[in-house]
Structure 1
Amino acid sequence: MAPGGFFGQALVVDVHAGHATGSRLTLDDQVLRAYLGGVGLGTWLMHRLAPPGVDPLAPQAPLAFVYSSLVGTPLTTSAKFAVVAKSPLTGLLTDALASSQFAISGKLTGHDAIVIRGRADELSVLLIDGDGPRLEPAPDFAGLSAADAETKAKERFGRGWRTAAIGPAGERGVRYATISHDGRHAGRGGLGAVLGAKNIKAVLVKAATKVGVADQAGVLAAAKDLRGRSFGPATAKYRELGTLANLLAFNAVSTLPTRNFTAATFAEAPRLAAEELHELRGVARNSCASCSIGCEHIYARKGGGSQRMEYENVFALGPLCGVSDPDDVFAASARCDELGIDTISAGGTIAWAMECVERGLIEEPWLRFGDGAALLRALDAIGSRAAGLGELLAEGSRRAAERVGHGSLDFAAQVKGLEMPGYEPRSLQSMALGLAVNARGADHNRSGAYEADLSGDVDRFHGGAAHVAAAVQTEDKAAVMDSMILCKFLRGVFDDPFTEWARLLALVTGWDLDADELRTAARRIVRAKRAFNLREGATAADDTLPVRMLETPIELGSGRTAALTADRLRSMVASYYEARGLDQDGRVSATDLADLFL
């Protein structure tokens, strides 16, 4: 019998010709307790179901939608799911989290995960409910945005279905294409390209059953308490201005990456700031499914319509590309949504190309920093994989730089192939380590080490032992939250996180959990990610940052600079390996491998 909150099985769907066949993989209590669900369980599934060395875009490569025991409970922010696969952008493990009713309906098909393999003969949609999977041809969905595909799916199949879809970029194999649903996106690592390679335009799910919890009264009481705390000071920033509030704050402390990481401040940042836009353009605030925080801020667009804006898409399509006109940034963000591409990788790859043009390495003189029209033109070229520049940039900055050569890889702002988020590592050196060692690549959601840098508890300009401890701690916390799954914006409301998380899980599952067991699970999940990457060819040499970050100091203003040397980063990485129980080459020990239950 499965623990509360779980069904104890994953549905493995093979799509082929015009058919979909499903089999069930048993998930025993040991595996569920070891990996918790979400990203953790998805990592275990990739170990079990992904053939070693498989091409991420091959039919045999699995893509998993993974739920957790909390999905469907009244706990705030719990309507989330993870999408996990081998990334076509990095060649390593990738996962992305998203919130929507798709999470609840997908789980209530009666499965803790839905794994898709194979390739349909023609563009199709995959439907899954209590009767199992079926494949429906959908050639008329070709070229639609994810939002339009969702609308068309409701018209054809009925409103009871919940849809996750790809845009035209996913169909065309753009290596950082997204999977979208209810206006939210599983964004990083190219998961949309993986689904597109299977000739699946959309996955539709319909709830068919219910799942119980171990202590219904206890869960309701905990939900009421958590909801109350979610209105407190720890989430005030997200409620009032959203993540875009970071823009001016990061600019003030010289950690806002600008013009492809050649500067750490952007003089025109106030034009794009939440404070300015809230007064002039703010039209609404919205929440994800089952969320009481309401961090989503909607702004009016020039000429009509509206757009959800967050720090990362504004950073990547604004300062990183030198673009300061909010209308251009709004339009670029909307274009990314329509095409179905990750805003961070799109902005990072285009910013790299803009610098290549400046250096005479790419002959596209129209592609200039600060030119909003050029930004939109480049996005269109990427989304259509237009011959020449579009085909090149659709590969991501690392592959593009390897093709262009002439030292351009040195200034491609990526780690393991994943473009860097909006944190300047030379002035945030805990974060520098977190970005370097993370399994997904340059990732601010799986390593929140910037919190230590910005707290004032460590010297953010000189990395050392305290920075290593901060990177390990935040990575462990993220591993648990991403597997439970709870929104990271709740992290500040927990006074004793592991103890409180263990109690929540105990109420739902009936397990006799404590904080130490959750800490062990966190370390196991982090090791399992690394073990998968090592299996796929990753080495210690991948745990680094671009040459630019290690050889060129960044200006901080008033004649000050910040520098991160290769020796300092190597020393922190070596200490990180020791803290994680890895050998000097970053490899997992045989004893720890045995603890992964593979």
Structure 2
Amino acid sequence: MAPGGFFGRALLVDVGGREATGTPFELTERVLRSYLGGVGLGTWLLHRLAPPGVDPLAPAAPLAFVFSSLVGTPLTTSAKFAVVAKSPLTGLLTDALASSQFAISGKLTGHDALVIRGRADELSVLLIDGDGVRLEPAPDLAGLAAGEAETAAKSRFGRNWRTAAIGAAGERGVRYATISHDGRHAGRGGLGAVLGAKNIKAVLVRAATKVSVADQAGVLAAARDLRKRSFGPATAKYRELGTLANLLAFNAVSTLPTRNFTAATFEGAPRLAAEELHELRGVARNSCASCSIGCEHIYSRKGGGSQRMEYENVFALGPLCGVSDPDDVFAASARCDELGIDTISAGGTIAWAMECVERGLIDEPWLRFGDGKAVLRALDAIGTRSPGLGELLAQGSRRAAEAVGHGSIDFAPQVKGMELPGYEPRSLQSMALGLAVNARGADHNRSGAYEADLSGELDRFDGGAAHVAAAVGTEDRAAVMDSMILCKFLRGVFDDPFTEWARLLGLVTGWPLDADELRGAARRIVRAKRAFNVREGATAADDTLPARMLETPLELGSGRSAVLDADRLRSMIAGYYAARGLDEEGRVAAADLEDLLLDA
């Protein structure tokens, strides 16, 4: 019998040919307890089911939708799922989280994970419910935006199906294409391209069963308490202004990446700030499924309509490209949603191309910093993979730089192939380490070490041992939250996180968990990610930052500068390896491999 909150099985779906088949795959209690669900369980599944060295876009490459024990409970923000695969952008493990009713319905098909392999003969939709799996041809959905495909699927199959779909970019293999559902996105690493390579336009799930918890009364009481705390000061910023509130704050402390990381303050920031837009454009506030925070802020668009805006898409399509006109940034964000591409990778790749144009390395004179219309034109080229520039930029900044050459890799804003988020590493040196060593590549959600940099408790311009401890700590906390799964915006409401998370999981599963066991699970998940990447060819040389960050001081004004040289970063990385129990090459020690249960 499975523990509370789990079914004890995954469903392996083969979509090869014209018909789909589904095969149950047992998930033992030992594996579930060791990896918790979500990203942790997805990492274990990739170890077991992805052939070593497989091309991420090959039929044999698995794509896993993974749930957790908390999905379907009344715990706020728990209606989330993870999508895990080998990334076509990085060639390494990637995972992305999303919130929607798809999570609940997907789990209530009676599975803790849905793993898709193979390639359909024609563009199709995949349906999964209590009656099994089936493919339905869907050539009429070709080229549609994910939202349009979702609407069409509901019309065709009924409103009780929940849909995750790709846009045109996923169909065309853009290496940072997204998977979307209910207007939200599993965004980073090109998961939409992986689904598109399987000739699947959408996955539809329908609830067919229920799942029990170990202590129903205890879960209800915990849910009431967590909901109450979610309205407190720890989440006030997200409720009042959303993540876009970070823009002016980061600009003030010289950590807002601008014009492809050549500066960290942007003169046009006030025009894009949440405070300004809230007064002039704010029209609504919304919440994800089963969420009491309500961080989503909706703004009116010029000419009609509205757009959800967050810090990362505004940073990437605004300051990073030198664009200050909010209408242009809104339009670019909407275009990314329509095409189904990650805003961070899109903005980073376009910003790199703009600098290449300045340097005479790319002959597209219209693609200039500060030109919002040029950003839109570039996005259209990427989404259609038009010959020349579109095909080049659809590969992401690392592959594009390798093609262009002339040292352009030195200023490509990426780690391991994934474009940098909106944090300047030279002025946030805990974050610099977190970005360099993270398994997913340049990432702020799996390593939120910027929290320590901005806490005022350490010198953010002088990385050292304290910064290593901060990076390890935030990575561990993220590993548990991403596997439970709970929203990161709740992290501030827990006074004693591991102890409180152990209690929540214990109420659901019935396991007698404690904080030490969860800390062990966090370390296991982080090590398992690294072990997968090493298996796929990653080395210590991949744990680094772009040469620009390590060779060019960041000017702060008044004669001041921020410096992060290669020696300092290497010293912090060595400290990180030691703290993680890795060898000098960043590999998991042989004595620790058994703990990963890779043969279980």
TM-score (norm 2): 1.00
Work out the CA distance in 2 between the residues paired with 1:492 and 1:347: 29
SS at the partner of 1:211? coil
For 2:450, the aligned partner's letter is Y
Corresponding residue for 2:517? 517
Corresponding residue for 1:45? 45
Displacement of 1:85 after TM fit?
Answer: 0.1
Displacement of 1:558 after TM fit?
Answer: 1.7
Corresponding residue for 1:474? 474
Corresponding residue for 2:359? 359
SS at the partner of 2:118? strand
Work out the CA distance in 2 between the residues paired with 1:92 and 1:123: 26
Corresponding residue for 2:538? 538
Work out the CA distance in 2 between the residues paired with 1:583 and 1:589: 6
SS at the partner of 2:133? strand
Work out the CA distance in 1 between the residues paired with 2:133 and 2:398: 37
SS at the partner of 2:21? strand
Corresponding residue for 1:210? 210
Work out the CA distance in 1 between the residues paired with 2:270 and 2:211: 48
Corresponding residue for 1:271? 271
Displacement of 1:179 after TM fit?
Answer: 0.0
SS at the partner of 2:58? coil
SS at the partner of 2:173? coil
Work out the CA distance in 2 between the residues paired with 1:420 and 1:537: 21
For 1:253, the aligned partner's letter is V
Cα deviation digits, residues 185-239 of structure 1 (max 9, x gap): 0000000000000000000000000000000000000000000000000000000
Displacement of 1:17 after TM fit?
Answer: 1.3
Displacement of 1:591 after TM fit?
Answer: 1.4
Work out the CA distance in 2 between the residues paired with 1:529 and 1:21: 29
Corresponding residue for 1:424? 424
Displacement of 1:394 after TM fit?
Answer: 0.1
Work out the CA distance in 2 between the residues paired with 1:362 and 1:592: 47
Corresponding residue for 1:164? 164
Displacement of 1:442 after TM fit?
Answer: 0.2
- 1:547 maps to 2:547: yes
Q: State the aligned residue count.
A: 598
Corresponding residue for 2:333? 333
TM-score (norm 1): 1.00
Corresponding residue for 1:35? 35
Aligned ranges 1:29-178 → 2 under 5 Å: 29-178=29-178
Corresponding residue for 2:300? 300
Cα deviation digits, residues 315-363 of structure 1 (max 9, x gap): 0000000000000000000000000000000000000000000000000
SS at the partner of 1:367? coil
Cα deviation digits, residues 286-328 of structure 1 (max 9, x gap): 0000000000000000000000000000000000000000000
Cα deviation digits, residues 497-549 of structure 1 (max 9, x gap): 00000000000000000000000000000000000000000000000000000
4+ aligned runs moved over 4 Å, structure 1: none
Work out the CA distance in 2 between the residues paired with 1:16 and 1:519: 40
Corresponding residue for 1:459? 459
- 1:189 maps to 2:189: yes
Work out the CA distance in 2 between the residues paired with 1:557 and 1:201: 50
Displacement of 1:555 after TM fit?
Answer: 1.1
Displacement of 1:590 after TM fit?
Answer: 1.1
For 2:197, the aligned partner's letter is A
For structure 2, the residue ranges without an aligned partner over 5 or more in a row are: none
Corresponding residue for 2:395? 395
Corresponding residue for 1:257? 257
Displacement of 1:364 after TM fit?
Answer: 0.1
Displacement of 1:556 after TM fit?
Answer: 1.1
Displacement of 1:167 after TM fit?
Answer: 0.1
Cα deviation digits, residues 156-182 of structure 1 (max 9, x gap): 000000000000000000000000000
Work out the CA distance in 2 between the residues paired with 1:80 and 1:268: 35
Corresponding residue for 2:232? 232
Work out the CA distance in 2 between the residues paired with 1:22 and 1:106: 14
C-alpha RMSD of matched pairs (Å): 0.3
Identity of aligned pairs, percent?
88
For 1:359, the aligned partner's letter is R
Corresponding residue for 1:22? 22
Work out the CA distance in 1 between the residues paired with 2:394 and 2:42: 26
For 1:188, the aligned partner's letter is R
Corresponding residue for 2:412? 412
Displacement of 1:429 after TM fit?
Answer: 0.1
